[in-house]
Amino acid sequence: MAAEVIAIASDHAGIDAKDALKTVLTEWGYEVLDLGPNSAGSVDYPDFADALTTAIGEGQAARGVLLCGTGIGMSIAANRKPFIRAALCHGVTDARLTRQHNDANVLVVGARTLGIQTRKDCLETFLNTEFEGGRHQRRIDKMS
Catalytic residues: 68, 101
d(CA 56, CA 7): 8
3-state secondary structure string across 83-121: CCCEEECCCHHHHHHHHHHHCCCEEEEECCCCCHHHHHH
Helix, strand, coil in percent for the chain, rounding step 5: 50, 15, 35
Q: Which helix (H) or strand (E) holds 27?
A: helix 15-27
Nearest Cα residue to 10 out of 50, 61, 62, 45: 45
